[in-house]
Amino acid sequence: MVSNGTPEKKAAGASPDQLTAAFGRQLSLASRSIHADDYTNTHPAVAPPMHVSTTYRYSDNPDKLLPWSEMDPSTLDESYIYSREKSPNSTRYEAILSSLLGGPAVSYASGLAAFHAMIVFLNPKRVAIGGGYHGCHGILKLMKKLNGLEQVELEYDDDLAKLQKGDVIHVETPVNPTGEARDLAFYRQRADELGCYLTVDATFAPPPLQDPFRYGAEIVMHSATKYFGGHSDMLSGVLAIHPERAHGKDGQPGWLSELREERLHLGGVMGNFEGWLGVRSLRTLELRVKRQSESTQHLVDWLASQKRARDNVVSEMVYKMQHSSLQDEASQPDSWLSKQMPNGHGPVFSLWLRSEEHAKRFPSKLFLFHHATSLGGVESLVEWRAMSDSTVDRRLVRVSIGVEGWEDLRDDLLQGFQALSEELKN
C-alpha cells in the first residue's frame, strides 16, 4: 500500500479505516487529530466548511430514494435528512473523537446532555457515584423523580453491595474539583462481580493522559466543552462506546445505533457551529493537553515544595492542596495510578486556603488567571468554587492551567499570595 514512503489515497470507498489501511498501522494521536476525518471530505477546501443548514435535499433521482428504515447510517451525504439526526459538521467531529477515544463516539449539546442520554439508555435501577461534578448528581435527582432511580455512594463498600445486575458504577476520574484519580481496575472488578456496567467520566484526563477502555469501561463520557473544545467558546458532550458494545450481533442493534436513535428523540444534538468549532479544536488537542499537564506538574511541585519548606507566603496562605500527582500511588512506578495515567496528570488541582475570606479574595489578586468557572481552555482559570458549586468547602479554590508559560503562572500565584497577605494584614 505504501510506495516511496507516500501512502496511496483511496479514490473511492473512503472509510474510517482508510489511514490504517494505507499505512498498515495506527497513526499517532496527533496525526489522527488532524486526519481522522479526511474520509468525510466532500469539498476540496483544506479547512473544513461550516454547514448551517437544518435540512437537506433528497436526491433528484427517484431510484436513489430509500425509506428511513432502509438507510445505511454509515453513509455520508446520501443519508443527511435533518440536523437533529446528524449534520456534516457533527459527523466530522465524531469521526475524530471516535479515533482518539478508541470507540465510536456520539456527540451531544453538552456534557450533562451526554450523561442524561447515557442514564436513559442504560436505564439502571441504581447508580453508584462519588463526589465529582454536581451536575451529574442533579441529573440523577431528576431521574429519581421520574422513575425512582436510587443513588448509592461509590466509595462505600456497603453501598456498592446494594447494586444488582444492570445497575451502573459511574466513576469520575480525575475528580472534579480536586483533580484526584480513582482506580478504574478496582471498579471494573467490582462491576464484574455485581453484574454492573462501568461508565467513566474522563473529562479531567483526555487523550493522551488516560484511556478508560483499557480497563473495560462500557461507555466513556466527556464534557467536551472543556479540553476537546479547548478555547472556552463551545458547549458539547460526548459518549464513546466500547467497540465490543457498539455494533449489534445476530441481527440485534448495537449500542451505537440505539444511542443515535434515542438522541434523535431526546433532542440533545449539538449545533452546527459547535460541531465546526469542535473539529477546529481537536486539531491541537495533544499539543494543548501535554503542555497543560506538564505546566501543572511544575506548578504543583513548586507549591508542594513551598508548603513543605514552611515560613513562606504559600505555606502561610494554603491549608492543603489536592492533585492526582500528590497521591501516594503517584510515586510508585508499578501502582495502579502510574499505569492508569502513564503520560502525565490532569491540568486541574485545588487549593484550600486558610479561610473562606482568603479564598474569596485571592482570585482578584491575580493577573494571568481569569476568575471564572469551567476549565480546559488555553487560558488559565481560577475559581472560588463556592461561586458555582454549593456543595464544596468554601475555602476551596479550583485552578485550571492553560498554555501560558508555567514560570509566569508561578510568579503570578506568588505575587497573588503576597498581595493577599498584605491586604489581610492591613
pLDDT at position 254 over 80: yes
* 47-73 burial: b if 16+ Cβ within 10 Å, else e: ebeebeeeebeeeeeeeeeeeeeeeee
Tell me the pLDDT tens digit for each residue of 319-328: 999 999 999 9
Partnered with residue 351 across adjacent β-strands are 321, 397
The predicted structure's pLDDT at residue 10 = 42
- Mean pLDDT on 147-168: 96
Residues 248 and 346 in one domain: no
Q: Which of 125, 132, 93, 127 is nearest to 109 (CA)?
A: 93
| % of the chain with per-residue pLDDT over 70 | 96
Q: Could you check whether the bond before residue 49 is cis, i.e. omega within 30 degrees of 0?
A: no
For residue 196, give the C-alpha cell: 454492573
Three-state SS sequence of the chain: CEECCEECCCCCCCCCCHHHHHHCCCCCHHHHHHHCCHHHCCCCCCCCCCCCCCECCCCCCHHHCCCHHHCCCCCCHHHCCECCCCCHHHHHHHHHHHHHHCCCEEEECCHHHHHHHHHHHHCCCEEEECCCCHHHHHHHHHHHHHHCCEEEECCCHHHHCCCCCCCEEEEECCCCCCCCCCCHHHHHHHHHHHCCEEEEECCCCCCCCCCHHHHCCCEEEECCCCCCCCCCCCCCEEEEECHHHHCCCCCCCCHHHHHHHHHHHHCCCCCHHHHHHHHHHHCCHHHHHHHHHHHHHHHHHHHHHHHHHCCCHHHHHEEEEECHHHCHHHHCCCCHHHHHCCCCCCCEEEEEECCHHHHHHHHHHCCCCEECCCCCCCCCEEEEHHHCCCCCCCCEEEEECCCCCHHHHHHHHHHHHHHHHHHHHC
Tally the domains of the chain: 2
The predicted structure's pLDDT at residue 77 = 52
Mean pLDDT taken over the chain: 93
- Mean pLDDT on 290-318: 97
Residues 80 and 223 in one domain: yes
Q: What is the CATH number of the domain that holds 375?
A: 3.90.1150.10
Residues 303 and 323 in one domain: yes
Residues 148 and 48 in one domain: yes
- Residue finishing a domain among 282, 317, 342: 282
- Please give the single-letter amino acid code of residue 181: A
Residue position matching grid coordinates 485550571? 400
Q: Could you check whether the bond before residue 208 is cis, i.e. omega within 30 degrees of 0?
A: yes
Partnered with residue 128 across adjacent β-strands are 152, 169
Q: Which of 141-145, 227-231, 247-251, 421-425 has the lowest mean pLDDT?
A: 247-251
Q: How far apart are CA 265 and CA 401, in angstroms?
A: 37
In a domain, 5, yes or no: no
Residues 20 and 150 in one domain: yes
Residues 164 and 252 in one domain: yes
In a domain, 1, yes or no: no
Query: CB of 380 within 8 A of CB of 409?
Result: yes
- Residue finishing a domain among 264, 282, 300: 282
Q: How far apart are CA 77 and CA 40, in angstroms?
A: 9
pLDDT at position 65 over 50: yes
Confidence of residue 2 (pLDDT cuts 50, 70, 90): very low
The predicted structure's pLDDT at residue 339 = 97
In a domain, 417, yes or no: yes
The predicted structure's pLDDT at residue 6 = 44
Q: Which of 262, 17, 7, 23 is nearest to 122 (CA)?
A: 262
Q: How far apart are CA 235 and CA 306, in angstroms?
A: 37
Cβ neighbours of 218 (radius 10 Å): 23
Model pTM score: 0.93
In a domain, 56, yes or no: yes
Q: How far apart are CA 83 and CA 71, in angstroms?
A: 16
Residues 54 and 120 in one domain: yes
Residues 255 and 107 in one domain: yes
Q: How far apart are CA 111 and CA 237, in angstroms?
A: 4
Tell me the pLDDT tens digit for each residue of 66-100: 888 887 766 655 578 999 999 999 999 999 999 99
Residues 6+ apart with CB under 8 A from 279: 37, 48, 89, 92, 93, 96
The predicted structure's pLDDT at residue 29 = 95
Residues 228 and 342 in one domain: no
Confidence of residue 310 (pLDDT cuts 50, 70, 90): confident
- Residue finishing a domain among 282, 304, 330: 282
Query: CB of 267 within 8 A of CB of 142?
Result: no
In a domain, 9, yes or no: no
Residues 249 and 301 in one domain: no
Q: What is the CATH number of the domain that holds 247?
A: 3.40.640.10
Residues 120 and 256 in one domain: yes
Query: CB of 316 within 8 A of CB of 358?
Result: no
In a domain, 250, yes or no: yes
In a domain, 46, yes or no: yes
Phi, psi of 350 (to 5 degrees): -130, 145
Confidence of residue 347 (pLDDT cuts 50, 70, 90): very high
Q: Could you check whether the bond before residue 174 is cis, i.e. omega within 30 degrees of 0?
A: yes
Q: How far apart are CA 13 and CA 33, in angstroms?
A: 21
C-alpha distances out from residue 145 to 138, 140, 151, 420, Å: 11, 9, 12, 45
In a domain, 4, yes or no: no
Residue numbers of the domain that contains 398: 285-425
Residues 294 and 371 in one domain: yes
